[in-house]
Amino acid sequence: MAFEPIQIGRDGKRMMLIPAGWFLMGTSDADAVEMQREYGWRLKWFADEMPQHRVDLAAYYIDETPVTNAEYKRFLDANPEHPAPPDWDPDDRTFPREKDNYPVVFVSWGDASAYARWARKRLPTEAEWEKAARGTDGRRYPWGQEFDQGRCNTKMSDLRATTSVRQYAQLGDSPYGVIDMAGNVWEWCADWYDAEYYKRPFTFNPPGPESGDWRVLRGGAWDISPDYARCANRDYIVPDNGYATVGFRCVSTNLNE
């Protein structure tokens, strides 16, 4: 099925529609055992992704790619009081040369949330992020069951840095045409992290925990191994800081624009 992008929000960024309906969230017992046998990955690595469960979501749009340096620059120009990332030129608040289409990094969870508010969007929940990445069939990676280093930027690519958000377009796309959901940069989600959250009976638009110490990261980055780039993988980090391997994308539930 072909999905056409649409421009929503103040940033004018292309977004992809994720239709309403259910999907399989998390990792099944059988899949965990298979990955242990096939790759030698430890079963405990999947504990916070289990049990796999069916989740229903209302329709929403998600950014086609992570937010880029050029897009974040427009946000900063409109909000001169907001600090620029530490890897940018501090005087003219400009991103590194020739990296306009690279994902913005060194943005905290608060920075990402501020951009989302300015764009009249928000950060995705874990469930929204995962459905957009894997579709409804419980696949491991956006493109299918098997890892393919030619479809994403991870440690296996040996590039040792971020790449353009469109370098792996089409080859690495999700079933909905969403780009760069595996590797390149981790992406902030709205949720607090709770290792036991999947054991709770949230089956429709799960909101995430009410509080916590860490915010959820999804998708993996350029310096990680294939197991971290799986659609179901959950990670977390202190939200107050920015990191060289962390970016973000936004969602919108305003379907009338």
Residue with token string 């030619």: 150
pLDDT confidence of residue 202: 81
* Mode of pairing for the β-strands spanning 186-192 and 246-247: parallel
* Local confidence pLDDT in tens for the 257 residues of the chain: 556 788 888 999 999 999 999 999 999 999 999 999 988 998 999 999 999 999 999 999 999 999 999 999 999 999 999 999 999 999 999 999 999 999 999 999 999 999 999 999 999 999 999 999 999 999 999 999 999 999 999 999 999 999 999 999 999 999 999 999 999 999 999 999 999 999 987 889 999 999 999 999 999 999 999 999 999 999 999 999 999 999 999 999 987 65
DSSP, collapsed to helix, strand or coil, labels residue 150 as helix
DSSP, collapsed to helix, strand or coil, labels residue 236 as strand
pLDDT confidence of residue 7: 86
Q: Are 249 and 124 in contact (CB under 8 A)?
A: yes
DSSP, collapsed to helix, strand or coil, labels residue 56 as strand
Q: CA angle 191-235-52, nearest 5°?
A: 80
Domain ranges of the chain: 6-252
Q: Are 247 and 65 in contact (CB under 8 A)?
A: no
Burial class (CB in 10 A: 0-12, 13-18, 19+), 196: exposed
Reply yes or no on domain 6-252 having CATH 3.30.530.20. Answer: no
DSSP, collapsed to helix, strand or coil, labels residue 167 as coil
Which residues fall within 8 angstroms of residue 37, CB to CB, at 6 or more apart? none
Q: Are 56 and 155 in contact (CB under 8 A)?
A: no
Burial class (CB in 10 A: 0-12, 13-18, 19+), 170: exposed
Q: How far is CA 58 from the centre of its chain?
A: 18
pLDDT confidence of residue 183: 98
Q: Are 147 and 153 in contact (CB under 8 A)?
A: no
What is the C-alpha separation between 229 and 147, in angstroms, rounded?
A: 9
Q: For the CA atoms of the chain, what is the radius of gyration?
A: 17
Q: Are 250 and 121 in contact (CB under 8 A)?
A: yes
What is the C-alpha separation between 108 and 188, in angstroms, rounded?
A: 9
